[in-house]
């Protein structure tokens, strides 16, 4: 019984939140890593692309709600997601046409493209704030919990509760589906293969007749889909606030770099590494130890490795270690 309690406490406070957060980071990191691999620059505007996509989806969600359309127990935002993705894709392609294409044509150094993306980030920042404002927006509807902490306690008779929010479950399921689709697309379809060829060696790809314009367009399409999905899932799970999305950029980049920039599987792994280290290393083990250990061995203090103030430092320490000992990342991405 005590062991069960310990497991449930661990699952409730570390495993479940970290898995959901990791899935959100992984989706974001996939977008970053695709742009890095195929278009060859670090896209600083990615956090704000997520905000833009989430904003479009929220606006459509409000529209659907006012017409009385809902998805039953699922959040209405999932119905609005395809529209959000379409608008974001158009927006990204317009940005590419207006900004990035020029630098690609002149074969500018990656750092110039990166700086251009910084400018795009500020513009997107402004657009999102101008349209939807700076306040917290809660747009999740439908059933909030798959299992509530109180119900779980009553049903199982354990002291510890386990809560799984429906948004957490949706996040993991949608993220898994999105990743599966992406891997299938990259490995099995003709366009996906041509994108990988383009990423590996641009000149050779051009010689073998791959249309670069098409590759770039498809890349932005996929990035729009990933970023909007990540943004909406994050917003459903927590809430939408333009400033927080900008802050998400740091852990997302950390995930992509830890996994290996340019490697999709690395981005997914990196997302979970960062999420678990943020939540796990700063966890106070007192409660779990209290269930598992015999009375006389129980810790007096909180049994916490590091104060939660340092949780960001933890992910960056991992980042530094990875760059020192394995500069290409866990899954051999491109060297940075």
Partner 1 sequence: MKRILLATVASAALAGTAGAEDVKLGVIFGFTGPLESITPTMAESAELAMSEVAASGAFLGGSTVTPVRADSTCVDATAATAAAERLVSAEGVKAIIGADCSGVTSAILQNVSRPNGIVQISPSSTSPGLSQVEDDGLFFRTAPSDARQGQVMADIISERGITSAAVTYTNNDYGNGLANSFAEAFRAKGGEVTMQAAHDDGKADYSAEIAALSSAGGEILVVAGYVDQGGRGIVQGALDTGAFDTFFFPDGMYGDTLLNAFGSDLEGSFGDLPAAEGDNAALFQQIASDAGFDGTSSYAGESYDAAALVLLAMQAAGSSDPAQFKDRMFDVANAPGEQIHPGELDKALRLLSEGQDIDYVGATGVELIEPGESQGTFREYNIVDGAYETIGFR
> Which residues lie near partner 1 (CB under 8 A)?
9, 12-14, 17-18, 21, 135-136, 138, 148-150, 153, 161, 163, 165, 234, 238-239, 241, 243-244, 247-248, 251, 275, 278-279, 282-288, 302, 304, 307-309, 311
**Smallest separation, CB 236 to partner 1 (Å):** 13
Task: Report the residue number, 15 or 103, with the smaller CB distance to partner 1.
Answer: 15
**Smallest separation, CB 63 to partner 1 (Å):** 21
CA–CA distance, 201 with 40 (Å, rounded to integer): 11
Q: What is residue 255's three-state secondary structure?
A: helix
Task: Report the residue number, 37 or 271, with the smaller CB distance to partner 1.
Answer: 271
Task: Report the residue number, 91 or 291, with the smaller CB distance to partner 1.
Answer: 291
**Smallest separation, CB 39 to partner 1 (Å):** 25
**Smallest separation, CB 200 to partner 1 (Å):** 33
Q: CA separation (Å) from 108 to 40, 102, 115, 130, 266?
A: 11, 9, 11, 32, 27
Name which of 330, 179, 315 is nearest 261 in CA terms.
330
Q: Which residue has the tokens 């409660």?
A: 287
- What would the DSSP string read from start to end of 213-232? HHHHHHHHHHHHHHHHHHHH
Residue 90: partners with Cβ closer than 8 Å, 6 or more residues away: none
**Smallest separation, CB 250 to partner 1 (Å):** 9
Q: CA separation (Å) from 263 to 105, 168, 230, 234?
A: 25, 25, 18, 23
Task: Report the residue number, 70 or 239, with the smaller CB distance to partner 1.
Answer: 239
Task: Report the residue number, 70 or 304, with the smaller CB distance to partner 1.
Answer: 304
Cβ pair 294, 286 in contact under 8 A: no
Task: Report the residue number, 104 or 153, with the smaller CB distance to partner 1.
Answer: 153
Q: What is residue 139's three-state secondary structure?
A: coil
**Smallest separation, CB 222 to partner 1 (Å):** 23
Q: CA separation (Å) from 103 to 40, 41, 117, 155, 260?
A: 12, 11, 11, 61, 25
**Smallest separation, CB 35 to partner 1 (Å):** 20
Name which of 254, 264, 190, 252 is nearest 38 in CA terms.
264
Name which of 91, 15, 20 is nearest 235 in CA terms.
20
Task: Report the residue number, 17 or 75, with the smaller CB distance to partner 1.
Answer: 17
CA–CA distance, 160 with 58 (Å, rounded to integer): 35
The token pair at 312 is 């960001």
**Smallest separation, CB 209 to partner 1 (Å):** 43
Task: Report the residue number, 142 or 148, with the smaller CB distance to partner 1.
Answer: 148
The token pair at 178 is 């999105």
């Amino acid at each position: 019984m005590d062991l069960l309690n310990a497991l449930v406490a661990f699952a409730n406070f570390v495993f479940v939140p970290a898995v959901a957060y990791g899935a959100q980071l992984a989706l974001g990191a996939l977008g970053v890593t695709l742009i890095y691999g195929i278009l060859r620059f670090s896209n600083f505007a990615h956090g704000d692309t997520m905000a833009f996509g989430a904003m479009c989806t929220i606006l459509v969600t409000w529209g659907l709600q006012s017409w009385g359309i809902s998805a039953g127990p699922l959040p209405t935002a999932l119905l609005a997601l395809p529209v959000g993705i379409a608008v974001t894709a158009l927006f990204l392609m317009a940005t590419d046409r207006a900004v990035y294409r020029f630098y690609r044509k002149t074969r500018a150094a990656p750092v110039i493209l990166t700086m251009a993306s910084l400018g795009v980030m500020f513009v997107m920042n402004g657009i999102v704030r101008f349209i939807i404002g700076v306040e917290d927006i809660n747009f999740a509807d439908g059933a909030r919990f798959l299992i509530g902490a109180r119900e779980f306690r009553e049903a199982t008779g354990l002291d510890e509760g386990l809560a799984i929010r429906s948004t957490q479950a949706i996040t993991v399921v949608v993220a898994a589906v999105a990743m599966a689709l992406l891997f299938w697309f990259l490995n099995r379809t003709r366009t996906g293969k041509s994108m990988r060829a383009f990423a590996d060696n641009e000149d050779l790809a051009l010689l073998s007749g791959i249309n670069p314009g098409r590759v770039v367009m498809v890349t932005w399409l996929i990035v729009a889909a990933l970023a909007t999905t990540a943004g909406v899932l994050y917003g459903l799970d927590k809430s939408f606030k333009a400033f927080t999305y900008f802050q998400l950029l740091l852990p997302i980049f950390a995930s992509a770099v830890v996994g290996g920039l340019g490697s999709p599987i690395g981005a997914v792994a990196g997302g979970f590494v960062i999420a678990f280290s943020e939540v796990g290393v700063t966890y106070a083990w007192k409660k779990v130890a209290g269930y598992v250990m015999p009375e006389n061995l129980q810790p007096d203090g909180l049994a916490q490795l590091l104060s939660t103030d340092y949780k960001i430092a933890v992910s960056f320490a991992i980042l530094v270690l990875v760059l020192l000992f394995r500069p290409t990342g866990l899954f051999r991405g491109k060297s940075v």
